[in-house]
Amino acid sequence: MSARDNILGRIRSALQGSPPVEPPPVPQVWPRGKASPEQLVEQFAGELAAVAGELVRCRSMIVAREKLAEMIERSGWRTLGAVDRPFCRELTADLPPDRLAWTRDGWQPTQMAELSAGLVAAEVLLADTGSCLVANHTAEERLICYLPPACVVIAKVEQLAEHMPAAWQEIAAKTAEQERRGEFVLITGPSRTADIEKILILGVHGPKRLVVLLVG
């Protein structure tokens, strides 16, 4: 047995039976305010608009379905690629099966890029930056955020947080779930870049359009 094996063996023995490690305290980078849900919505909407994103308010899931159907018709979208989440299933319940494609293992990027739009469900919305925190369990779920020319995010008002420190406890708990796989992605507006002349171009490295359907 090598010295390396001896060291690793001692580490494993020490770890066996050890009490669970407590997560670090939530960093107080920004103090938490007392903003109402409507104030958070207003702030999120302003920040999202500042980065060329679109917010569509929906009082109920029924309204959200109607808004999505209108968006598909108005934009001429042929096929909507969607991440398989309960909230996405609920939103797309009225869509014809031939207009919907669910993410699957082994889906080729070239096929995903041919979709008209991608649909994902947010875990958390950050009001201070207009950002959507999305959990991706597989590489295909991550690519659905980037490859189609438009991205639709479905979320509820109660998922709004003032900023990252205010949402950190919830996020840390999700990352600690043993069965969870993949990664979290922060989406802040459509893809944008600028050349040396400072001309802003949308859609170069990702979707040209981002729409957040906010229910509640």
Predicted local distance difference test score (pLDDT) of residue 92: 97
Identify the CATH number of the domain in which residue 104 sits: 3.40.50.10420
Of 115, 93, 92, 96, the closest CA to residue 104 belongs to 115
* pLDDT tens digits, 117-156: 999 999 999 999 999 999 999 999 999 999 999 999 999 9
Residue 34, judged by CB atoms within 10 A of its CB (0-12, 13-18, 19+), counts as exposed
Lookup: tokens for 56 = 């569509």
Instruction: Please report whether residue 16 resides in a domain.
Output: no
Instruction: Please report whether residue 15 resides in a domain.
Output: no
Instruction: Please report whether residue 67 resides in a domain.
Output: yes
CA-based radius of gyration for the chain: 20
Residue 165 CB contacts under 8 Å (≥ 6 apart), including other chains: 26, 27, 28, 29, 30, 32
Lookup: tokens for 59 = 């009082």
**Number of domains observed in the structure of the chain:** 1
Lookup: tokens for 182 = 């993949």
pTM over 0.85: no
Instruction: Please report whether residue 8 resides in a domain.
Output: no
Mean pLDDT for all residues in the chain: 88
Instruction: Please report whether residue 96 resides in a domain.
Output: yes
Beta-bridge mates of residue 131: 126
Residues in the chain with pLDDT < 70?
1, 14-15, 17-29, 192, 195, 200-206
Distance of alpha carbon 57 from alpha carbon 214, whole angstroms: 5
Residue type, 207: P
Instruction: Please report whether residue 46 resides in a domain.
Output: yes
Instruction: Please report whether residue 185 resides in a domain.
Output: yes
Predicted local distance difference test score (pLDDT) of residue 120: 97
> Which domain does 189 fall in, by range?
34-215
